[in-house]
Chain A
Amino acid sequence: MTKLTKYIIVWVIALCQTISTAQNCNVFLYQKDTLQYEACLIAEDAYQYYQYSREYQEILDKAIEKCPHFSYAYLNKSTAYLKSGDFITWKYLIDKAVEYNFRENIGYRGWCKFMFFRDYQGAIDDIEALEAVSKGNIGYSAGGHYHLKVAKALCYKQLGDVKKAIYIMEQYMHDTTNQISVFDHLHLGVMYLETGIYDKAITQLNLQSVQNDIAENQYYLALCHQKMGNDSLFSEHITKAKEMYLRSQKMVFHYTEPIDRVYLEEINQALIGNEKANK
């Protein structure tokens, strides 16, 4: 590839990015909100910097100075504080983003409370507040792995109300307009396991195997069969769980540890426990 060709490609990409970002700002212009439009143009400069950086934060401060109700700047400023675990500054900034654009940001705040700070009640309150103002689908988590209803179900489970969690999951999965995400069958299967409904747990975990087979669903399948007294199926699934784990076929989330994650030591302990029981 010649230098000129490379230059043209880079230029076209840059032009496309500029046009697409400018169109986002044009939304404010279309709404005749010139203050947010001008703040949006200022904020565009921040995106060339790493979100942790001083430059990124300072440019977004200028956008806020231009338009104090520009929620997008608060939202973007909050991200580095979220990822670095600064829950005090994060909460201040995300609350501002929610205050100035409730519909767009309340679900995201709930998701972050759940995933980053295990604030289950706070997450439920936010997701239910979103449901109260939404006519249709309330949408997915940041990253798209979870529908917010599934996140809400997991929060209820973590607070000890597994029956309510199952009810929410069943309602969600029964609705054919909803898309089943990569871990939904696993989570519902574990909920059934925790309440002793082993046949339904096995059904869900087998569905998980078909959709996205990972060490976790094999581990929980093994536990179901162990509870039902089927040693050979327990051994089969726990062995498979370990093999998959060692191949890194497991739940991995960026930044935080997911609910129902299984660790190698837990798999090993289940294996050792079974060997001792069989001696």
Chain B
Amino acid sequence: MYKTIIFFFSIVFMTESCQHPSVPKNSKYLSMVGDIAQDPKLDDPNFTLCDEKNTKQYHNLNEEMQYEGEKYALDQTFATQFKADPTIKDSGMIRIRFIVNCKGETGRFRLMSSGYDYKEKQFNNAITDQLLTITKSLKGWKILSDKRGPKDYYQYLIFKITDGQIKEIMP
């Protein structure tokens, strides 16, 4: 019984510290710029990280984006799967930021968008829903490692949209 209580409190403590890694309550910042905390309303509960407190940025682990078939393959995927609606003339930038975990799986997708003036702007759902669906379906993200083994890392894609069509994808 004693061991069970200790185990229970340990699990509660570990879960809590994972969700709020050492950030004081009065800070307006997350632990790291761009951190994405797990949100049960938005995220797949089956998507887990190896080391919640030590998620890297993609550029920490390699000089450039690492995708099977390189960015060429990624561009081709969006070129063939994204269907522009000619009646929608939205323009600007859309960023989808997400995590690639140590197994090469993706999750915690978050979207940000602006006009070309860098001011926040909502895009037509027909555009953002498609981009999110295609991004979630991508299977080519490589597992990136440091000296200690495979790591979880943040990746993003930025779409330049002009008159409802994808003009360029970054990084």
Nearest A residue to B154 by beta-carbon distance? Answer: A84
Residues in A neighbouring B112, C-beta threshold 8 A: 86-88
Q: Which residues does chain A contribute within 8 Å of B63, judged by CB atoms? A: 252-254
Q: How near does chain B come to A77, taking the closest CB pair, in angstroms?
A: 9
A263 touching B93 in the complex, CB below 8 Å, given contacts A58-B27, A84-B57, A116-B170: no
Tell me which of B33, B71, B72, B73 contacts A52 (CB under 8 A). B33
The answer to whether A236 has its CB under 8 Å from any CB of chain B is no
Q: In the complex, A87→B157 CA distance in Å?
A: 12
Find B171's partner among A58, A92, A116 (CB 8 Å cutoff): A116
Within 8 A of B (CB), among A83-113: 83-88, 90-92
Residues 108-123 of B, flagged 1 when their CB comes within 8 A of A and 0 if not, give 0000101010111000
A53 to B114, CA, bound (A): 25
Which A residues lie within 8 Å of B116 (CB)?
119, 122
Give Cα A86 to B160, complex, Å. Answer: 14
Report the minimum CB–CB distance from A15 to chain B (whole Å).
29
Contact between chains at B34 and A118 (CB < 8 Å): no
Query: Inside 8 A of B65's CB, which chain A residues have their CB?
Result: 257
Partner pick for A117 among B31, B73, B170, CB 8 A cutoff: B170
Question: What total of chain A residues lie within 8 Å of the partner, measured CB to CB?
Answer: 32
B57 x A54 contact (CB < 8 A): no
| Interface residue tally on B, bucketed by range | 20 to 34
Structural contact, B29 and A117, CB atoms closer than 8 A? no
The answer to whether residues A252 and B64 also contact, given A57-B29, A57-B33, A84-B154 and a CB cut-off of 8 A, is yes
Do the beta carbons of B31 and A80 come within 8 Å of each other?
A: no
B141 within 8 Å of A by Cβ? no
In whole angstroms, how far apart are the Cα atoms of A255 and B61 in the complex?
Answer: 11
Complex alpha-carbon distance, A52 and B36, angstroms? 13
Among residues 130 to 149 in chain A, which have CB atoms less than 8 Å away from a CB atom of chain B?
none
A257 touches B64 (CB 8 A): yes
Q: Please, which residue of chain B has its CB at the minimum distance from the CB of A77? A: B33
Closest 7 A/B residue pairs (Cβ): A91-B118, A84-B34, A263-B72, A80-B33, A85-B156, A54-B29, A52-B32
Of the A-B pairs whose beta carbons lie under 8 Å apart in the complex, a sample of 11, sorted by A's number, is A58-B27, A83-B57, A85-B156, A86-B95, A87-B118, A116-B170, A118-B160, A118-B168, A255-B171, A257-B64, A263-B71
